[in-house]
Amino acid sequence: MGCLLRSWETLEVWHPSVQQRRILYRELSLLICLSPILQADLTMENDGEVTCSDASESGGAVAKAESLTWSCLSFVGRQLHQELEPVSCPILVISCFNGIGGSFRIYDVLGVRVMGKVTIDNCGEASRVTRTTWPEVEEYPDNVGS
């Protein structure tokens, strides 16, 4: 809340001036920009684990793993034992900027079967990956700005 030093002055006035509104917008923008720090533990040490994310529109990424993490081993083990059915939960997952479906994948890893999956994305290649992996997904294009 230390970012909102002068915003309260603006909110207490019935008709704030242009300058007061600019101060309010500037302080709110600063607070929004700093919001990721609220979720970050800046005292954490680097654990050396390598992850790759292909957010490029023209390139690709390749990663090599020497072993599986415990979560991957757990997922593979679950897949090998068909008697371990996923737990059904009445959850609807709506994934905006879905990409290749990372938000859906976590439920697979956890062994949770959700009620429904909805994806919103405009990348045809990524949507094809999602559609192939989860054929039951409902797809909607991201038409904002077009």
Q: Do 74 and 33 share a structural domain?
A: no
**Is 32 in the same domain as 88?**
no
Q: Based on the fold, state whether residues 133 and 83 are members of the same structural domain.
A: yes
pLDDT one-digit tens code per residue, 5-63: 887 788 788 888 899 888 888 888 888 888 777 767 767 776 656 555 555 566 666 66
Q: Are residues 82 and 128 in the same domain?
A: yes
Number of compact structural domains in the chain: 2
Region 126-144: mean pLDDT is 86
Cα(102)–Cα(29) distance, integer angstroms:
29
**pLDDT, mean over the chain:** 78
Predicted local distance difference test score (pLDDT) of residue 117? 95
Please indicate, yes or no, if residue 56 is contained in any of the structural domains: no
Kindly indicate the confidence band of residue 111, based on its pLDDT and cuts at 50, 70 and 90.
confident
50 part of a folded domain: no
Q: Supply the range of the domain harboring residue 13.
A: 7-37
* pLDDT band per the 50, 70, 90 thresholds, residue 92: very high
